[in-house]
Amino acid sequence: MKSKGVLFLSNGHGEDAINCQILKALRVSGADIDVSAMPIVGDGAAYRRSTVPIIGPTSQMPSGGVFYMNPLFFLKDIGAGLIALTWQQLQAVWTHSRRCDLVVATGDIVAAAIARSTDRPYIIFLSAHSSYYEGRVDLGLILWQLLSSEKCLAVFTRDALTAADLNRQGLKKAQFVGNPVMDNLNSTGKDLQLIAGVRTIALLPGSRLPEATYNLVLLLELVKEIASNSTVPVQFRAALVPALMPQLDDIAARSGWQHRSGKLIFQHLKSPESHQNLGVEVLCYADAFADILQQSSLVIGMTGSAIEQAVGLGQPVIAVPGNGPAFTYRFAEAQHRLLGDSVQVIGTQPANSDIIKEAALAVDRTLQDDCYLESCVKNGLERMGQAGGSIKIANYAANYLGY
């Protein structure tokens, strides 16, 4: 039996990561497959790390793939060559898919349309739609037709509520088997130098540069406010993308901090009660995301998938809007609808000094609210489900391929 070809399509950084989880599970299943990928947005770094051949051209556009948040970013993408790039990607997909037995798509109408245009059988993880967003999912005429096509074998949803909703609407192939974003949270055993008995706050500035740089500067201001006014002892750990680590010297200098080997230090805080100088430290890691998340009592985030993972682990999240383009108030508000009361969005505009003060109070209040913290555990399981979704999607693909 010759190896089967599987093409992975995705239109977003988080979607790339989800496909890589499915792909990893498919490889482990023992199926003899020839995998390839076409990331429609970004440079496909997740696929490259997973040693998956990318079949067409990629480019990092000015919007980072989130131009729907602001039409101006779409115009910038057009100016940066989006139309020519997309046409080249489509041609690569159409040519390569002729020798593929299955297409695995993750994303929204874009991923579904490209998968359908290959005329190959496909399955899709519908990452961009949820009944928690909309009350009742409205796929629109075009996406409904794409998912109803006989070429679409299965529609995997991001939560159980959405699968039930789509089933009621007549899309019986919709099913929830778990959200793959919960499947890459294995602890590495990293020593985070934590002080026993002190609450840990995780800082997640995001993955897209230069936005993540600006977000970290903003989060450091919030750290100072929390450290000055918290009524419970806290410690801070930042989970950064590797590209952000070389910038810590510059970030520290710009923000009035010091940087020593991944540790950011601010030494001149005034305690409002004793008027004594206080010091605060933020230990930064580029290789301990899961460890930090699992050992934290609260997460302050300015990112997408990572906040979903935090909520799935039962963590409370404080979200502070930034200047974007990705993590804006509009994005954070939609995230709150998706993830429920586990996420508290502070402010309706890019964070200023008043919003930072309000966020610090919210952190202190949250850490002392045991009933709320318990509700976050229940809510996380309801919204994100158990781990294991990528294995079940991979098993579906392997069964279809005859393995």
- Report yes or no: 158 and 127 within 8 Å, Cβ to Cβ: yes
Check whether residue 136 and residue 219 sit in a common domain: no
Q: Quick check: is 194 in a domain?
A: no
Check whether residue 256 and residue 284 sit in a common domain: yes
**Band of pLDDT at residue 146, cut at 50, 70 and 90:** very high
Q: What are the strands, taking DSSP E only, across 158-247?
A: 174-175, 199-204, 234-239
Q: Quick check: is 211 in a domain?
A: yes
Check whether residue 371 and residue 393 sit in a common domain: no
Check whether residue 377 and residue 391 sit in a common domain: no
Average pLDDT of span 1-28: 90
Check whether residue 14 and residue 128 sit in a common domain: yes
Check whether residue 206 and residue 163 sit in a common domain: no
Render pLDDT for 15-48 as a digit per residue (tens, 0 to 9).
Answer: 999 999 999 999 998 888 999 999 998 888 889 9
Beta-bridge partner residues of 157: 126
Average pLDDT of span 170-184: 94
Render pLDDT for 51-74 as a digit per residue (tens, 0 to 9).
Answer: 999 998 887 656 555 545 556 655
Render pLDDT for 128-145 as a digit per residue (tens, 0 to 9).
Answer: 899 998 789 999 999 999
Check whether residue 152 and residue 30 sit in a common domain: yes
Which has more pLDDT, 197 or 275? 197
| CATH code assigned at 281 | 3.40.50.2000
Long-range contacts of the stretch 92-96 (C-beta < 8 A, 24+): 92/38, 92/55, 92/56, 92/57, 93/7, 93/9, 93/38, 93/55, 93/56, 93/117, 93/118, 94/118, 96/7, 96/36, 96/38, 96/55, 96/56
Check whether residue 265 and residue 372 sit in a common domain: yes
pLDDT for the residue 62: 61
Secondary structure of residue 361 in the 3-state scheme: helix
Check whether residue 376 and residue 391 sit in a common domain: no
Check whether residue 379 and residue 391 sit in a common domain: no
- The helix (run of H) or strand (run of E) holding residue 155 is strand 152-157
Structural domains in the chain (count) = 2
CA pair distance 285, 262, nearest whole angstrom: 7
Quote the pTM value.
0.85
Q: Quick check: is 177 in a domain?
A: yes
CA pair distance 280, 267, nearest whole angstrom: 6
pLDDT for the residue 66: 52
pLDDT for the residue 248: 96
Q: Quick check: is 322 in a domain?
A: yes
pLDDT for the residue 262: 95
Average pLDDT of span 102-116: 96
Q: Quick check: is 190 in a domain?
A: no
Range of the domain at 314: 199-384
Which has more pLDDT, 82 or 5? 5
Render pLDDT for 205-230 as a digit per residue (tens, 0 to 9).
Answer: 998 889 999 999 999 999 999 999 89
Check whether residue 8 and residue 153 sit in a common domain: yes
pLDDT for the residue 79: 60
Q: Quick check: is 166 in a domain?
A: yes
What's the mean per-residue pLDDT of the chain?
90
Check whether residue 31 and residue 167 sit in a common domain: yes
Q: Quick check: is 191 in a domain?
A: no
Q: Quick check: is 192 in a domain?
A: no
Average pLDDT of span 261-278: 73
CA separation, residue 277 to residues 61, 210, 219, 267, 270 (Å): 45, 33, 21, 7, 5
- Report yes or no: 153 and 121 within 8 Å, Cβ to Cβ: yes
Inform me whether the pLDDT recorded for 328 exceeds 70. yes
